[in-house]
Structure 1
Amino acid sequence: MGFSYLKVGLGAVVIVAAAGYGIIRSGYIAQYVDQSQNQIVEHTPYSISADAQALHDKLRIADLHNDVLLWGRNISQESEIGHSDLPRFKKGNVGVQIFTSVTKSPRGQNYKKNSAEAFDNITLLGWLQSWPSNALNKLSERALLQAQRLYDLEKKHPDEITVVHDREELEAVLKARAQGSKIIAGILGTEGGHALDGDIKNLDRLYEGGLRLMGLQHFFDNKLGGSLHGQSKAGLTDFGKDVVRLMEKKEMIVDVAHSSPAVVEDVLAMATRPIVVSHTGVKGICDTPRNLTDDQVRAISAKGGLIGIGFWDAAACDISPKGVAASIDYAVSIAGIDHVALGSDFDGSVTTAFDTSEYAVLTQELLKRGFTEKQIAAVMGENIIRFLLENLPQGQSEEETLASSN
């Protein structure tokens, strides 16, 4: 996620002006901020060949990182705002989506150096959306509030989306989709361990609230360790190590997107389970402060991890479908085909060249680059699905359930 203070600042100006008219906390202002933050480059409709579309329709599309739950818009209906909603997921053939909560974003946010003490943009956004006082004051409550939005969507549209907590539930969704259903498996996570409010007991609360993935840092240092964009660039703290151990015990997925190189190294040294970088790019093709070095890509993939390639400028440099495909291609050349996935960062305060309804254009660009159908299937979703089946809480597989009933 890359929240632009300039645009939020504009929203703040509107709030001050609106105060005189008694319309503070207007939903229109929140919608304006959403629209200004999550943009798509204007383009003519992409022309998809019959072969590319036929292949895309057979794929199981999965994505590691989407922030749409932050904005409070009605994602059951197709919108001209942002990058994703249920109708657009269906058009893009998305079957598995990780939805992350965003709980804090510092004023003046940038990729080089941010202070944890800076004014928090998410507090302002929450105020605009009329969040309850506990969510305005506690980051853990913000994570749970955004998670609840997915449960509310599931309750209203049970045939379209289900919140998945373990392998068994994911297998059930995959089976339903194989039989023709368009239901989406939604998995909950959060962006940054500051969502714990400095208390490891809150990891239990987040887990009970449905979260199965947690990023350790976001744009600033926190109690767990240094951010890639923080002031210290430090590694894991003792508290951070305790959190990682407990996450592994609970079979939660550790995400090191936004973590300092020292944190990534410390996590790899102690981890007994594979980790992910949910949304990133690779310096070998796009040399920005946001992206991974070749050595980091090799180290993460060597331990069974996943690299989610993002679609925005700091991740891909060239955000066209062709440019995103080039980043994927380069990452595969370093990590191997089994360790590269989609990490869109859709609705994460980024500008992209396509939205969730247009995923087929990426399938087409990978075909143009000479990827085989099996390789395209791996990158577009199978790698994530395999990873989740192996690393979500295990429960009982369908085969085990049948065996135990006989």
Structure 2
Amino acid sequence: MGKTLALVVFAAALLSAQAPAKKTTAETPEARAARIHKQAIVVDTHIDTTMMLGRDGWDFMVRHQPESGENHVDLPRMREGGLDAAFFSIYMPGTVTGPEAVKRALILIDHVRRLTEQHPNEIALATTAAEVRAANKAGRIAALMGMEGGHMIDDSLAVLREYQRLGVRYLTLSHSVNTNWSDSSGDKPAHNGLTDFGKDVVRELNRLGVMVDISHVSDKTFWDAIETSKAPLVASHSSMRAISGHPRNMTDDMVRALGGKGGVVMINYSVGFLSNERYEAQQKNVPSAELPRVSWEKIVDHIDHAVKLVGPTHVGLGSDFDGTTVPDGMEDVSKLPKITAALLAKGYSEQDVKNILGENILRLLEQVEGVGRQLRAAASKSD
């Protein structure tokens, strides 16, 4: 009986080995891109949707149509495009200064905080990388805040500290005009970069664990910030000057210096920043209807150029949605998966794509938080 049973088992095993293997369906490029995009924590470091939040009758929780010109971002389209976290910009023109700028900034901060309070099951206020990850794990969108322009601190480190307490996690040193302490790329030089107080602002941002943002600043301000900062920096929404000569874009040397210090350049989707042809036409005041069209693939070109300079761990996404004219094919946030698919088609690894989509900026946020803790601990010991 034992020998017979052994023969039966052997025969069954032999037949099983000879049976044709079941065919496995290969993952299509589209399915692979969708899977990776869903697995990633996708972060955008600059959306100007904050201005819409205070508009009567406008609802962030309702899907709007991009062709109507209403806006680029709302909750349904964030879900559709897989955008898991965004820095809501605290912005007003640099010509608004003094107490009025502080008042308006506080109102914008309140808009973001109230949005998260009114919809706690959908949106979570986040101030750290850990809170972004926790929100993502819970299926909630993470709302962070970045302040677009040093004019809003009203030349006061005390005001800056209050913004940090309210949740602001980066400060753009200057916007399109100079502040009293920082030169802008959109204005004539007044300070030869950062003044002594401007350098104090950078040091205080380091101590507070708030990212120093060098988008919009003059080249000299950039180099002063790089030299002064003890923490890696961010370019929250900038692109490559080697592709489009707009002064808002970064030179190759600037990108290398930013990456060399551990920072991240977040690629901007603004058509004038993406296309030199478009930028030059704008400079010649060509009527808007006659301006060259720009395709969304240009975003990928800028990402690819930056990666070739500093590698895939120092590049991310900073769209400028709701604050600029976006390229054809990237009409709103729902189109974000196109970028993932395009990077994979170029041969980027899954991890490289996930890094660009969000892991790089989360790492930077963690590093800046860590520098802040170290500086505060060192100051406490010396007291």
Give the shorter-chain TM-score range: 0.7 to 0.9
2:147 aligned counterpart, secondary structure: strand
1:297 to 251, 255, 270: 255
- The answer to whether structure 1 residue 359 and structure 2 residue 348 are counterparts is no
2:232 aligned counterpart, secondary structure: coil
Deviates more, 1:300-309 or 1:196-205: 196-205
The aligned counterpart of 1:44 is none
- The residue identity in structure 1 corresponding to 2:323 is G
1:257 aligned counterpart, secondary structure: coil
In 2, the alpha carbon distance for the partners of 1:341 and 1:395 equals: 23
The aligned counterpart of 2:45 is 64
- The residue identity in structure 1 corresponding to 2:152 is A
| TM-score normalized with structure 1 length | 0.74
1:187 is displaced (CA, Å) by 1.1
- The residue identity in structure 2 corresponding to 1:372 is S
In 2, the alpha carbon distance for the partners of 1:212 and 1:57 equals: 25
The aligned counterpart of 1:153 is 115
In 2, the alpha carbon distance for the partners of 1:214 and 1:377 equals: 25
In 1, the alpha carbon distance for the partners of 2:104 and 2:369 equals: 23
1:282 to 210, 224, 240: 240
Q: 1:51 to 1:168 in 2, by over 3 A?
A: closer
The aligned counterpart of 1:53 is 34
Structure with greater contact order relative to length (CA < 8 Å, sep ≥ 6):
1
- The answer to whether structure 1 residue 370 and structure 2 residue 354 are counterparts is no
Deviates more, 1:273-282 or 1:347-356: 347-356
1:163 to 114, 120, 125: 125
- The residue identity in structure 2 corresponding to 1:100 is S
Query: 2:206 touches 2:372 (CA, 8 Å); kept in 1?
Result: no
1:167 is displaced (CA, Å) by 4.3
In 2, the alpha carbon distance for the partners of 1:173 and 1:389 equals: 16
In 2, the alpha carbon distance for the partners of 1:218 and 1:91 equals: 31
Q: 1:299 to 1:253 in 2, by over 3 A?
A: same
1:261-295 per-position Cα deviation (integer Å, ceiling 9, x unaligned): 11111111111000001111112222222211100
1:358 is displaced (CA, Å) by 1.2
2:266 aligned counterpart, secondary structure: strand
In 2, the alpha carbon distance for the partners of 1:347 and 1:137 equals: 26
Q: Unmatched 5+ residue regions in structure 2? A: 1-28, 276-292, 374-383
1:152-180 per-position Cα deviation (integer Å, ceiling 9, x unaligned): 1111111111111234433422432xxxx
In 2, the alpha carbon distance for the partners of 1:292 and 1:79 equals: 33
1:25-49 per-position Cα deviation (integer Å, ceiling 9, x unaligned): xxxxxxxxxxxxxxxxxxxxxxx93
Matches within 5 A, 1:30-41: none
Query: 2:129 touches 2:362 (CA, 8 Å); kept in 1?
Result: no
1:50 is displaced (CA, Å) by 3.0
| TM-score normalized with structure 2 length | 0.78
- The answer to whether structure 1 residue 95 and structure 2 residue 84 are counterparts is yes
Deviates more, 1:74-83 or 1:212-221: 74-83
1:327-355 per-position Cα deviation (integer Å, ceiling 9, x unaligned): 10011001211100001011113333311
The aligned counterpart of 1:246 is 204
Max radius of gyration: which structure? 2
In 1, the alpha carbon distance for the partners of 2:134 and 2:32 equals: 29
In 1, the alpha carbon distance for the partners of 2:371 and 2:250 equals: 30
Query: 1:165 touches 1:392 (CA, 8 Å); kept in 2?
Result: no
The aligned counterpart of 1:321 is 296
The aligned counterpart of 1:175 is 137
Matches within 5 A, 1:2-401: 49-71=30-52, 72=54, 73-80=58-65, 81-105=70-94, 138-176=100-138, 181=139, 183-232=140-189, 234-317=192-275, 319-353=294-328, 354=330, 355-392=332-369
Query: 2:296 touches 2:327 (CA, 8 Å); kept in 1?
Result: no
In 2, the alpha carbon distance for the partners of 1:365 and 1:189 equals: 28
Q: Unmatched 5+ residue regions in structure 1? A: 1-47, 106-115, 124-135, 397-406
Computed over aligned residues only, the root mean square deviation of the Cα atoms, in angstroms, reads: 2.2
